[in-house]
Amino acid sequence: MEMLDYRKKRLEMEPIMWNEGPSTGEDLASLEFRRVVCEGYFDESKSIYVGPRSRSISGVTENGYYVITPLVPRATGHGSLQTPVLVNRGWVPRGWRDKNIKDSENLEKALESKEADITPNGEGAWWRFWSKKPTVSKAEEPITPTVKVLGVIRGSEKPSIFVPANDPSTGQWFYVDAPMIASTCGLPENTVYIEDINEDANATNPYPVPKDVNTLIRHSVMPQDHLNYTLTWYSLSAAVTFMAVKRIKAKKIRL
């Protein structure tokens, strides 16, 4: 109960404005369960999918994943913090993940095909010298939209003995290991890990589904669960004792 009270108090504190730098001198490990606001853009090419994770929708259980993406903060002024963070954007269905992987593969193939068209096979250095690659000016480059993330600083998950080990080489992630994910994304191992709790739903693009802030407060076994277990086992013990007494009395009467 003290732990739950501690988490509630931390979540009620003023959020840290990450773009302006932490407003406290505390160590990052001690900032767990503090809310944080960060504005920047997601590096979608480095997204990590952790799962499978199930989610109940209208009574139907569906398997999916948590998608974790590096977020590069936007500069807000001189000396503003530019350290990327890992953001658990929430739950996505299995098909959403497969579609994004396929789109990334198609994009890579399109870029390779475009490069092959620029330099036809069989042409030597003469062609490469006279043919000019089309250049894209900064004004024509696609602008990545910035997003504002409201999240909670968290730590890595502690898997049970039944959970397989993560395998970054094959893209198999079964639990959140923040230092390992950060290293795979090319970030320092001490990169901050944040779980998105933004409740603004988008009907046209409902995924990813962020975590509910109430789930962050919960523990695997809540105090109410202990009370339920106590009532259940005492009730079963009383019922078994009553049946045993009736059984013994019936035998004595027959004798």
Distance of CA 137 to the CA centre of its chain: 35
- Per-residue confidence (pLDDT) for residue 150, from 0 to 100: 92
Given a cut of 80, whether residue 216 has pLDDT beyond it is no
Mean pLDDT of the chain: 79
**What is the Cα–Cα distance from 111 to 103, expressed in whole angstroms?**
12
**Domain extents for the chain?**
2-220, 224-255
Given a cut of 60, whether residue 160 has pLDDT beyond it is yes
Instruction: Answer with the residue of higher pLDDT: 148 or 132.
Output: 148
Strand partners, 62: 55
**What is the Cα–Cα distance from 189 to 244, expressed in whole angstroms?**
61
Most confident of 9-23, 43-57, 79-93, 179-193: 179-193
The dihedrals phi and psi of 192, each to the nearest 5 degrees, come to -70, 140
**What is the Cα–Cα distance from 247 to 164, expressed in whole angstroms?**
49
Given a cut of 60, whether residue 177 has pLDDT beyond it is yes
Q: How confident is the model at residue 172 (pLDDT cuts 50, 70, 90)?
A: very high
- Per-residue confidence (pLDDT) for residue 81, from 0 to 100: 60
pTM (2 d.p.): 0.73
